């Protein structure tokens, strides 16, 4: 009897371990909710390159599901079978903006949050010929006349940043929604608008080349690639906003697999090769663990909800 | 630096990359539903494993090849491989039916080559100056540019009756373009809760349905594409000389294509239609247009290939992609740590110039390929329809799905296919509809943005010099056909009263 019990215990111990050791035994699909060649897609591919070092036998496949501001991709991740073979990337503020605007067929609970990897801080930029040199100038001018500021669509990270800035400083911009960073860049370089809220990576090259001027970075500390640009807080306006790019899995995956994935991301986030690759590709890292990132997303959702209630879209 | 670039380019690996890129580009462009954007995006992960230069050459070759390749099925089967080839289909397909498919292919490849080479030359010589010019275009100008493209609807009609029908078709296209997210307020319009419609009706599936699928349904009643009487001429085609009078539209198209290509936005389609339209206005044989005019093919193809070099001007100098293919290419550059801007022409000059020079080689490759293969390609039009229809339908459905991995798009494609047959049987213009669908969103966004920038005043459309110049061109393009149609109807009335 005792022998049987022992055997049963041993088997009970052995089999789950065995099942765990086997994961991953087939390719893991990473759903990227944006276009191939974009920065989220690049992040996923750099992650894979580094992850292979820690899981040498694992195979990863990137699946780009673009469209509707990431909504199609987010929904596909939420809908996927929670077996650990489909994970995906999310980006802010779109992931929460879709929930707030009631368009999403998912909630934050639909995901197991693995953690965050990348970010792209928001910046305030003006055309090269603009007399505005810093935030004080900008606010003074905005109070004197109506200034046109471009953002990338309603509900995007740029939009939330502009709204936070308005709230913090009491100015009102003539907000111009665009189809994306390409249009914003063309308008800033051509001097068609007075200012633009956009991401650091989208304009840093133009700033360096002297074709546009970044007057503030909405982050806690200055960026290493543009050390001359002051943060908004340094200029007396503590507005901070960044676009994060993290990893999630569908909710309901087994605890063991979730723990393995969480651990993998943390290892990749610290990997020297990964750090070197991201620096080369002008991507900015913002390592966060699962619980940290979940708390961040919840806070962002509450903030976005506030702007939505004031002026729904 | 140019010499170093040539040195880097003339290595077996580099030349092989250009060759493979161009050839596969022609194939991709030639398949309905597979586009240059898709091909370049798919190549990006492949280039990870390659030297940065090799990867770039591959992508550049695909871009050049695909832009030309789109014209092959447009001419032979009236199934344009890319939206930019719609105008080519309007002229090329009637030629195929008359047994002159091989000649149409030859005209198209020569025009494509000239347009592509001319724009690359411009890119090589005066890129930075041109980029500055492109930046002076703001939202009001983009609105007017879309209007300029829409003016092409008028040129699709010869008489009053057809003009009204063409205008109605264009209007249907504009109405369909309303579906999706409002570009300014972010509100959803007529999406019926379907996530796939949030970005609007995708125009590639619509195009595939309207041209490829409807065409295949139409062909079910016939044995083959070519008219019975013209079979012999198709077979005989060998060394027929190029028709006279095509050099003017080619140069016109090259110039217009390059200029429009430089402007960031939906370049190639507008460029092809505008140069087609202008060529028609200035032609000595305008009555041939719509019934198989080599001049029309020449202008449209020179126009859309002119965009290739043009679109790379703002991409390389400012980091602002001229169109979606250039955007994908930009992604490829960034992955290799090449940041667009002045540095690209100095620090990384060897690679950049090698890339630009490789575009010349790509153009030569597809020219030779096109000229050599034209007689063989032309025979596709003699394939019995019972083999042709299933194959083309298969690729069409596949292409509609693959654009966005969306099954909704397949249904959109089928719906448009059925609608297209009814529209065409009743004499409505499909080209006008697709123009409305593609240009509607551009016009709308430009209009609304211009008003926001102008703080609500309409004067912004009339005070800027670029905008005024565009108004003049639009009016010129509209007035001549209007007068023509008016005169014609007057004459008909007279004849009726006299008779």
| A50 lies within 8 A of chain B by CB | no
Express each pLDDT in B323-369 by its tens digit.
777 877 887 777 677 777 777 888 888 888 999 999 999 999 999 99
Question: Half-sphere exposure of residue B282, counting CA atoms within 13 Å on the CB side?
Answer: 18
Please report, rounded to a whole number, the percentage of residues in chain B having pLDDT higher than 70.
Answer: 96
Q: How many domains does chain B have?
A: 1
Lowest model confidence (mean pLDDT) among A90-99, A139-148, B227-236, B280-289: B227-236
Contact A155 B183 (CB under 8 A): no
pLDDT of amino acid B236: 61
What is the DSSP code (8-state) at residue A285? E
Question: Half-sphere exposure of residue B88, counting CA atoms within 13 Å on the CB side?
Answer: 39
Say yes or no to pLDDT of B253 above 70.
yes
Contact A154 B186 (CB under 8 A): yes
Say yes or no to pLDDT of A14 above 70.
no
Considering only the beta carbons, identify the residue of B183, B321, B330 that sits closest to A179.
B183
Considering only the beta carbons, identify the residue of B183, B199, B318 that sits closest to A68.
B199
Burial class of residue A15 (count of CB atoms within 10 Å of its CB; 0-12, 13-18, 19+): exposed
Q: What angle do CA B88, B94, B99 make, to 5 degrees?
A: 115
Sort out which chain A residues have CB atoms less than 8 A from B405's CB and list them. 65
pLDDT of amino acid A9: 60
Taking the CA of residue A57 and the nearest CA in chain B, the distance in Å comes to 19
Higher pLDDT among residues B130 and A290, named by residue: A290
* Local confidence band at A1 (pLDDT 50, 70, 90 cut-offs): low
Please report, rounded to a whole number, the percentage of residues in chain B having pLDDT higher than 90.
Answer: 35
| A56 lies within 8 A of chain B by CB | no
Express each pLDDT in B13-47 by its tens digit.
999 999 999 999 998 888 776 777 777 777 877 77
Q: What angle do CA A44, A225, A194 make, to 5 degrees?
A: 95
Among all chains, which residue has been given the structure tokens 């970044």?
A: A214
Contact A66 B404 (CB under 8 A): yes
Say yes or no to pLDDT of B403 above 80.
no
pLDDT of amino acid A209: 86
Helix axes B139-150, B430-453, angle to 10 degrees: 160
Mean pLDDT of chain A: 90
Please report, rounded to a whole number, the percentage of residues in chain A having pLDDT higher than 90.
Answer: 74
| A102 lies within 8 A of chain B by CB | no
Say yes or no to pLDDT of A17 above 70.
no
Residue B451 CA to residue B319 CA, distance in Å, equals: 27
| A18 lies within 8 A of chain B by CB | no
Say yes or no to pLDDT of A176 above 70.
yes
pLDDT of amino acid A280: 78
Q: What angle do CA B229, B230, B235 make, to 5 degrees?
A: 130
Higher pLDDT among residues A193 and B129, named by residue: A193
Q: What is the average pLDDT across B461-476?
A: 92
pLDDT of amino acid B481: 78
Say yes or no to pLDDT of B313 above 90.
no
Express each pLDDT in A34-49 by its tens digit.
887 678 988 998 999 9
Residue B379 CA to residue B385 CA, distance in Å, equals: 13
Taking the CA of residue A2 and the nearest CA in chain B, the distance in Å comes to 57
Mean pLDDT of chain B: 86
Residue A178 CA to residue A161 CA, distance in Å, equals: 15
Instruction: Return the sign of the alpha-carbon dihedral for residues B357, A183, B28, B101.
Output: negative
Sort out which chain B residues have CB atoms less than 8 A from A280's CB and list them. 337
Taking the CA of residue A184 and the nearest CA in chain B, the distance in Å comes to 10
CB B252 within 8 A of CB B310: no
Nearest to B44 by CA among A64, A42, A37: A37
pLDDT of amino acid B44: 73
Contact A205 B327 (CB under 8 A): no
Say yes or no to pLDDT of A19 above 60.
no
Sort out which chain B residues have CB atoms less than 8 A from A176's CB and list them. 449, 452-453
Sort out which chain A residues have CB atoms less than 8 A from B188's CB and list them. 103
| A280 lies within 8 A of chain B by CB | yes
Count CB pairs under 8 A between chains A and B: 129
Per-residue tokens: A42: 């690049």
Sort out which chain B residues have CB atoms less than 8 A from A206's CB and list them. 318-319, 341
Q: What share of chain A is helix, strand, coil (3-state, %, to 5)?
A: 45, 20, 30
Among all chains, which residue has been given the structure tokens 């990270």?
A: A157
Taking the CA of residue A51 and the nearest CA in chain B, the distance in Å comes to 16
Is the residue at B498 inside a domain? no
CB B262 within 8 A of CB B268: no
* Local confidence band at B196 (pLDDT 50, 70, 90 cut-offs): confident
Q: Which of A8-22, A129-143, B384-398 has the highest mean pLDDT?
A: A129-143
pLDDT of amino acid B250: 95
Contact A103 B188 (CB under 8 A): yes
Is the residue at B180 inside a domain? yes
* Local confidence band at B51 (pLDDT 50, 70, 90 cut-offs): confident
> Where would I find the H helices in B319-425?
324-335, 342-345, 349-378, 385-404, 407-425
Contact B183 A71 (CB under 8 A): no
| A103 lies within 8 A of chain B by CB | yes
Q: What is the average pLDDT across B204-218?
A: 88
A residues 159-178 lying closer than 8 A (beta carbon) to B: 174-178
Taking the CA of residue A114 and the nearest CA in chain B, the distance in Å comes to 24
Per-residue tokens: B325: 């293919």
Which of B139, B262, B451 to probe by mutation at the A interface, max A CB count within 10 Å?
B139
Q: Which of A117-121, B123-127, B193-197 has the highest mean pLDDT?
A: A117-121
Higher pLDDT among residues B284 and A84, named by residue: A84
Listed by start position, the domains of chain A span: 2-119+243-310, 122-217
Which of A36, A120, A175 to probe by mutation at the B interface, max B CB count within 10 Å?
A36
Residue B112 CA to residue A2 CA, distance in Å, equals: 84
| A133 lies within 8 A of chain B by CB | no
pLDDT of amino acid A55: 94
pLDDT of amino acid A4: 66
Q: Which residue of B has its CA nearest to A180?
A: B183
Say yes or no to pLDDT of B48 above 80.
no
Express each pLDDT in A61-88 by its tens digit.
999 888 888 999 999 999 999 999 999 9
User: B248 to each of A50, B116, B282, B375, how far by Cα in Å?
Assistant: 56, 16, 9, 25
Which of A30, A35, A37, A189 to probe by mutation at the B interface, max B CB count within 10 Å?
A37
Sort out which chain B residues have CB atoms less than 8 A from A153's CB and list them. 183, 186
| A122-217: CATH superfamily | Periplasmic binding protein-like II (3.40.190.10)
User: B11 to each of B4, B7, B117, B356, B357, how far by Cα in Å?
Assistant: 12, 7, 22, 16, 13
Per-residue tokens: B417: 């296919």
Report the relative pairing of strands A28-32 and A60-64 from DSSP bridges.
parallel
pLDDT of amino acid B421: 93
Fold of A2-119+243-310: D-Maltodextrin-Binding Protein; domain 2 (3.40.190)
Q: Which residue of A has its CA nearest to B332?
A: A37
Express each pLDDT in B146-180 by its tens digit.
898 888 888 777 667 788 899 999 999 999 999 99
Per-residue tokens: A264: 């993998």
Which residues constitute the domain of residue B368?
2-236+250-490
Contact B328 A71 (CB under 8 A): no
Per-residue tokens: A269: 């986030």
Q: Which residue of B has its CA nearest to A187?
A: B138
A residues 190-249 lying closer than 8 A (beta carbon) to B: 190-193, 205-206, 208-209, 211
Sort out which chain B residues have CB atoms less than 8 A from A35's CB and list them. 41, 328, 331
pLDDT of amino acid A56: 92
């Amino acid at each position: 009897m005792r022998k049987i019990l022992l055997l049963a215990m041993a088997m009970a111990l052995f089999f789950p371990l065995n099942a765990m050791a086997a994961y991953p035994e087939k390719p893991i699909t990473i759903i990227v909710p944006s276009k191939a060649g974009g920065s989220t897609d690049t992040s996923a591919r750099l992650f894979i390159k580094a992850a292979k070092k820690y899981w040498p036998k694992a195979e990863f496949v990137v699946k780009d599901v673009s469209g509707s501001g990431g909504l199609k991709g987010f929904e596909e991740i939420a809908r996927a079978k929670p077996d650990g073979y489909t994970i995906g990337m999310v980006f802010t503020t779109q992931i929460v903006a879709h929930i707030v605007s009631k368009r999403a067929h998912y909630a934050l609970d639909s995901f197991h949050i693995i953690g965050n990897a990348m970010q792209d801080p928001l910046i305030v930029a003006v055309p090269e010929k603009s007399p505005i040199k810093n935030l004080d100038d900008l606010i003074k001018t905005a109070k004197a006349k109506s200034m046109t500021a471009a953002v990338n669509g309603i509900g995007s990270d740029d939009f939330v940043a502009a709204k936070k800035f308005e709230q913090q400083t009491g100015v009102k911009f003539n907000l111009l929604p665009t189809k994306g960073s390409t249009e914003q860049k063309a308008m800033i370089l051509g001097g068609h608008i007075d200012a633009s809220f956009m991401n650091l990576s989208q304009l840093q090259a133009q700033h360096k080349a002297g074709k546009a001027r970044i007057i503030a970075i909405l982050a806690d500390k200055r960026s290493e690639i543009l050390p001359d640009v002051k943060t908004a807080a340094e200029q007396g306006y503590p507005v901070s906003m960044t676009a994060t790019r993290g990893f999630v899995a569908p909710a309901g995956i087994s605890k063991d697999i979730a723990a393995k994935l969480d651990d993998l991301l943390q290892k990749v986030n610290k990997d020297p090769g990964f750090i070197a690759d991201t620096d080369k590709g002008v991507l900015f890292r913002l390592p966060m663990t699962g619980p940290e990132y979940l708390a961040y997303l919840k806070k962002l959702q509450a903030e976005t909800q506030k702007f939505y209630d004031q002026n729904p879209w | 630096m140019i010499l170093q670039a040539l040195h880097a380019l003339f290595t077996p690996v580099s030349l092989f990359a250009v060759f493979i890129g161009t050839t596969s580009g022609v194939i991709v462009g030639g398949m309905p539903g597979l586009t240059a954007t898709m091909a370049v995006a798919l190549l990006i992960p492949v280039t990870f494993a390659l030297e940065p230069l090799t990867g770039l050459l591959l992508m550049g070759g695909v871009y050049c090849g695909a832009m030309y390749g789109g014209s092959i099925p447009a001419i032979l089967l009236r199934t344009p491989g890319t939206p930019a080839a719609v105008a080519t289909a309007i002229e090329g397909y009637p030629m195929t039916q008359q047994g002159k498919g091989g000649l149409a292919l030859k005209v198209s490849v020569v025009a494509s080559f000239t347009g592509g080479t001319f724009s690359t030359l411009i890119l090589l010589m005066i890129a930075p100056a041109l980029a500055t010019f492109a930046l002076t275009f703001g939202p009001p100008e983009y609105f007017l540019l879309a209007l300029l493209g829409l003016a092409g609807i008028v040129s699709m009609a010869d008489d009053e009756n057809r003009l009204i029908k063409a205008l109605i078709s264009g209007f249907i296209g504009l109405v369909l373009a309303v579906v999706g997210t409002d570009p300014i307020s972010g509100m959803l319009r007529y999406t019926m809760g379907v996530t796939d419609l949030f970005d609007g009706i995708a125009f590639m599936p619509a195009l595939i349905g309207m041209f490829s699928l409807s065409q295949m349904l139409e062909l079910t009643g016939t044995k083959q594409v070519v008219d019975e009487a013209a079979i012999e001429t198709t077979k005989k085609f060998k060394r027929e000389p190029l028709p006279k009078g095509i050099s003017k539209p080619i140069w016109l198209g090259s110039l217009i294509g390059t200029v429009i290509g430089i402007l960031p936005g939906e370049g190639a389609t507008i460029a092809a239609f505008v140069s087609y339209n202008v060529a028609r206005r200035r032609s000595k044989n305008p009555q041939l247009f719509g019934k198989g005019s080599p001049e029309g093919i020449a202008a449209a193809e020179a126009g859309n290939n002119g965009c290739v070099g043009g679109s790379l001007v703002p991409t390389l100098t400012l980091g602002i992609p001229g169109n979606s293919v250039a955007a994908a290419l930009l992604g490829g550059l960034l992955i290799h740590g090449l940041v667009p801007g002045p540095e690209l022409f100095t620090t990384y000059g060897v690679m950049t110039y090698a890339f630009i020079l490789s575009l010349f080689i790509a153009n030569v490759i597809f020219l030779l390929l096109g000229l050599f293969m034209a007689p063989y390609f032309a025979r596709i039009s003699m394939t019995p329809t019972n083999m042709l229809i299933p194959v083309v339908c298969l690729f069409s459905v596949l292409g509609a799905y693959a654009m966005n991995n969306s099954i909704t798009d397949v249904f959109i494609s089928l719906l448009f296919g059925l609608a297209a047959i009814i529209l065409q049987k009743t004499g409505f213009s499909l080209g006008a509809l697709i123009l409305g669908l593609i240009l509607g969103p551009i016009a709308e966004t430009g209009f609304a943005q211009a008003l926001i920038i102008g703080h609500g005043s309409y004067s912004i459309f009339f005070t800027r010099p670029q905008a005024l110049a565009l108004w003049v061109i639009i009016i010129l393009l509209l007035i001549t056909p209007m007068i023509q149609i008016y005169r014609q109807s007057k004459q008909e009335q007279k004849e009726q009263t006299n008779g």
